[in-house]
Structure formats: C-alpha cells, structure tokens
C-alpha cells in the first residue's frame, strides 16, 4: 500500500486488478445470458456494469497522468499518439476478424471501422475513443478554474457539466448500446473528479474491506432482478440508463480499493488479477467470439459456460502476447522518444 500512496501520480498496482475485475464482470454476465437463455430476462445488459467500471477507471488514470505531466502541446501530442496506438490497431484487427468469421457484411465492417456503427460488445470502443478527444478540453477548463477558485470549484463545474449533459441528452432518449459519447459523459466526468479527489484529499490508507464489500453489494442491488429477489422491489428499473449511479459507486469502490491495506488490495494487486487486467483489452475484444461459438453448441451447460470463460481469458492472453504486447512496446518507445528533451 505504501507503493500506491507514494505513487499517486504514477502507476497503481491495484488498478490493473480493477481492470481485471471489470473484464470478469463483462465475461460472466455475457456467458450467463448466452449459455443459460433462461437468465436473459433477468440478467440481460448486466455486462454494462463492467463497462461503466472501465469508463470510470480509464478517465481516472488518464486524468492522473495529465495532472502529473501538465497539459501542454508536448503532453497532449504524446497522449493522442499513445491513445491511437493503444486502441486502433487491435480494434481494427478484431473488427476484421469478426467480418472474416461472418458476423457482419462489408458495409457493416466499413461503418464499424469508421466508428459509425457498433457491433455487439464493440460499441464501447467508439464511445471511449471519442472521449479521448474531449479529455484535454475538460482538463484545461478544470485546471483553469482550480487555479483561480480552488479544487472544490472543479467539483462544482463537473456537476454543472453533468447536469447540462443530462438535460440536453436525457436518458429517456438513450438507445441501447449507443456509440455516441455524449450519453456517457457523466461516467467519464466521475472518473476525472476521482483523480482530483485522490490527489487533494489526505485520506489515510487503512483496511476498507467492509466498505468495499458494501459497495459491491450495492452494485448487485442496482441489478433489477437481484434487487427484486432480495428486497421484493426494484430500485432501478432500467440498468442501461443507470450508468451515472453505477459510475459513482464504482468511483467510490476504486477510491477505497487504492487506499486499502487489507485483503481487497491484496487480491486486486495479486499477480493473477493484474495479469487478467493487463490482458483485459484483448480479452474484451475476443470473448464474444468464444462465447457465441460455444454457446450455440452447448446451451444450458454450466460446465461449458465456465470453460468458455477460461477459454476467453486464455485467448485474451494469447492475443496479448502475439499482438498487443508488441504494439504496446512500440507505443512506449514512441512516447519515450516524444517525452525526451529536445537537443
């Protein structure tokens, strides 16, 4: 935990584990509804819970890097190049693969590659990628107001932005799996504010396991079917439009997890969870293929469902070592060159 607290501007060991948790949530949710069709009316869409965690964590980590390096032409150029190399090559490979395997036609492939159309789980990639262009703009505004009025003014401005987006883009008009980032700005804003809070509030590290478990239980209560089973009623009727409330809970979860010195931090910082987190992008892109192929042949088979989850993780690891790791090595080399002082 000392490493995490002394490295608030850098890398958080538990962050990789949190990313691993996010992809496991998506995997388990998708596997359940594909292999056990009877669960679809009750668990359909629950994979989005993991997606919101991805959104919040991504905004948090990217903001943290900017706040460490500062916002200038050099850091922004390095950031954009890094995001392009991080996302696009693997996304293009995955999109081409699904086209080759007959999941969609040439016209759909063109639209998917151009971020004009989503496909299955791939709808989240355009959402997050478009946010990358907005992040520096948000941070320039936040840093300017922080310099003049203090850190609490940043939270106030973030609330105003969130209210504005919710007003102009009400969740009642949200289409399922929309690729338009504007609907999910509030989730990313939550991640940005989390970075400011963690850097400016001097909360001591200690065991937060009880709070973390309580937050995970609260996440479960947001799932309509689970909530009705436990309480007899439904608190949140539509999971797809509950991204703001889920994002806030996830942000608190991340906050306590990064400060925790107990079992939770040990689990999230473990070698297994960090590896799953490191492979999460490859796993996320590939898991749909594994699940759909096996679910067609082994419907209602729990053992095959569990096997499909393991197979997805293994395929994600293979793709990581064959493609993603090499792309990442190249990306870090380029960013290192860009970050080095000019002679």
The tens place of each residue's pLDDT in the chain, 343 residues long, gives 444 443 444 567 799 999 999 999 999 999 999 999 998 888 878 899 999 999 999 999 999 999 988 888 988 999 999 999 999 999 999 999 999 999 999 999 999 999 999 999 999 999 999 999 999 999 999 999 999 998 889 999 999 999 999 899 998 888 888 999 999 999 999 999 999 998 887 778 889 999 999 999 999 888 888 888 888 777 777 788 889 999 999 999 999 999 998 998 899 999 999 999 999 999 999 999 999 999 999 999 999 999 999 999 999 999 999 999 999 888 888 877 776 765 4
Q: What spatial distance separates the first Cα and last Cα of the chain, rounded to whole Å?
A: 38
Per-residue model confidence (pLDDT) at position 10: 52
Per-residue model confidence (pLDDT) at position 210: 92
**Measured in whole angstroms, how far is the alpha carbon of residue 314 from the centre of its chain?**
20
13 CB contacts (<8 Å, ≥6 apart)?
3, 4, 268, 269, 274
Whether 256 maps to a domain, the answer reads: yes
Distance CA 27, CA 287 (A): 7
Burial-class residue 224 by CB neighbours within 10 Å (0-12, 13-18, 19+): buried
Q: Which residues pair with 260 in a beta bridge?
A: 206
Provide the 3-class DSSP secondary structure of residue 51: helix
Distance CA 276, CA 14 (A): 12
Per-residue model confidence (pLDDT) at position 11: 63
97 CB contacts (<8 Å, ≥6 apart)?
289
Number of structural domains the chain divides into: 1
Per-residue model confidence (pLDDT) at position 2: 40
Helix (H) or strand (E) holding 43: helix 40-43
Whether 233 maps to a domain, the answer reads: yes
Q: Are 190 and 204 in contact (CB under 8 A)?
A: no
Domain that holds residue 266: 2-338
Query: What distances in angstroms separate CA 216 from CA 19, 108, 256, 265, one per listed residue?
Result: 15, 37, 12, 14
Per-residue model confidence (pLDDT) at position 5: 43
Whether 54 maps to a domain, the answer reads: yes
Residues counted in the chain: 343
Is the dihedral angle over the CA atoms 164, 168, 173, 175 positive or is it negative?
negative
Distance CA 326, CA 334 (A): 12
Provide the 3-class DSSP secondary structure of residue 206: strand
Per-residue model confidence (pLDDT) at position 6: 39
Q: Which residues pair with 206 in a beta bridge?
A: 260
Whether 343 maps to a domain, the answer reads: no
- Strands (DSSP E) contained in the chain are none
Provide the 3-class DSSP secondary structure of residue 260: strand
Whether 114 maps to a domain, the answer reads: yes
Per-residue model confidence (pLDDT) at position 168: 92
């Amino acid at each position: 935990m000392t490493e995490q607290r002394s490295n608030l501007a850098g890398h958080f060991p538990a962050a990789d584990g949190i990313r691993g948790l996010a992809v496991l949530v998506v995997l388990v949710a998708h596997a359940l509804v594909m292999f056990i069709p009877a669960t679809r009316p009750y668990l359909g869409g629950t994979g989005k819970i993991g997606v919101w965690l991805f959104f919040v964590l991504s905004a948090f980590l990217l903001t943290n890097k900017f706040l460490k390096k500062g916002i200038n032409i050099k850091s922004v150029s390095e950031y954009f190049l890094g995001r392009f190399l991080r996302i696009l090559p693997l996304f293009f490979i995955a999109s081409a693969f699904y086209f080759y395997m007959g999941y969609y036609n040439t016209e759909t492939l063109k639209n998917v590659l151009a971020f004009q159309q989503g496909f299955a789980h791939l709808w989240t990639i355009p959402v997050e990628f478009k946010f990358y262009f907005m992040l520096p703009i948000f941070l320039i505004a936040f840093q300017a107001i922080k310099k003049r009025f203090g850190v609490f003014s940043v939270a106030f401005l973030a609330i105003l932005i969130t209210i504005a987006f919710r007003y102009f883009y009400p969740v009642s008009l949200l289409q399922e799996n929309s690729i338009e980032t504007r609907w999910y700005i509030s989730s990313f804003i939550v991640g940005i504010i989390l970075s400011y809070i963690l850097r400016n509030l001097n909360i001591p590290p200690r065991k937060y396991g009880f709070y973390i478990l309580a937050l995970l239980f609260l996440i479960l209560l947001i799932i309509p079917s689970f909530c009705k089973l436990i309480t007899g009623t439904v608190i949140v009727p539509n999971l797809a439009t509950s991204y703001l409330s889920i994002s806030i809970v996830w942000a608190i979860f991340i906050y306590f997890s990064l400060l925790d010195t107990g079992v939770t931090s040990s689990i999230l910082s473990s070698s297994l969870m960090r590896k799953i987190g490191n492979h999460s992008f490859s796993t996320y892109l590939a898991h749909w293929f594994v699940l759909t192929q096996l679910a067609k042949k082994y419907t209602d088979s729990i053992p095959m469902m569990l096997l499909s989850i393991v197979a997805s993780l293994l395929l994600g690891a293979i793709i990581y070592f064959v493609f993603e790791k090499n792309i990442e090595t190249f990306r870090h080399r380029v960013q290192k060159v860009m970050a080095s002082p000019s002679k």
